[in-house]
Amino acid sequence: MNERAETGEVLTFERTSLRIEGAVAMLTLDDQPVMNAMSPAMLGGITDALRHIATPESGVRCLLITGAGRAFSTGANLQQMTKGEEGSGPREAGSLLETGFHPVLRRLRDLPIPIVTAVNGPAAGAGMSLALMGDLILCARSAYFLQAFRRIGLVPDCGSTWLLPRLIGRARAMELSLLGEKLPAETALEWGLVNRVYDDAVLMDEATALARNLADGPTLALGLMRRLYWEATESSHEEQIEMERRFQLQAGASADFKEGVTAFLEKRPAQFTGG
């Protein structure tokens, strides 16, 4: 990979790329012959990319995730997942969850900047879970989601049994998992699973514009917001209002808060720096 990305340059990792434009980083899953199915190599590439943007030196204030070609990701690369290490037997189903998928999901959950996912095509299995890690989830009109596990005799994983009931309710989560039917983008929007659906030709333009909007915002506060909402599903009301108080103290001490108030009083657009 390149040692350092200047604005507009592309860092290449295993089966992924990272383009940094200003304060926006676009992470692209890129293994098109298998419709961006995730292998151990790709998971390593995603991890390296996330490690890079988490450094203050990167200057990244919003992450946009999408897939190359005609798919977002069709889930786990089964051919690669069933291969053991050299000299060993087949890899046990689920063994890579602990070593590969779960660390990626945790890094995304704990990232202190907003995440936008642009679902440009099929998002199946673990690919669906990755798409749903976005704070804002945008879809091409032709895209669809699929809980494909029943088709190969496995259970849903990568956090889908935690996410789906909270996003669309138990009944619909059960339906998607037990029947394994495709969920078109328009229906996903009706169900509240995604935020917006666009014509295929304009999806990436719209996603990039939205990511830039977020990157220009008070990203310290936006990062605190995403932490609050992650915690909200498990916290009591008392725990949550106490966390709001603590985070408000942190946001209120920021340069962005001072700039926001000053801009409001001066009746001009705020110029946030993320600090």
Tell me: the pLDDT tens digits for 71-107? Answer: 999 999 988 766 655 444 446 667 889 999 999 999 9
Locate the domains of the chain by residue range: 10-215, 219-265
Q: According to the model, what pLDDT value does residue 222 have?
A: 97
Q: 255-265 vs 219-232: helix axis angle to the nearest 10?
A: 110
Give the architecture (CATH level 2) of 10-215.
Alpha-Beta Complex (3.90)
Instruction: Please state, for a pLDDT cut of 70, what percent of the chain lies above it.
Output: 93
pLDDT bucket at 4, cuts 50 / 70 / 90: very low
* Cα(221)–Cα(20) distance, integer angstroms: 22
Taking every pair of Cα atoms in the chain, the longest distance, rounded to a whole number of angstroms, is 69
pLDDT, tens only, 192-224: 999 999 999 999 999 999 999 999 999 999 999
pTM of the model: 0.93
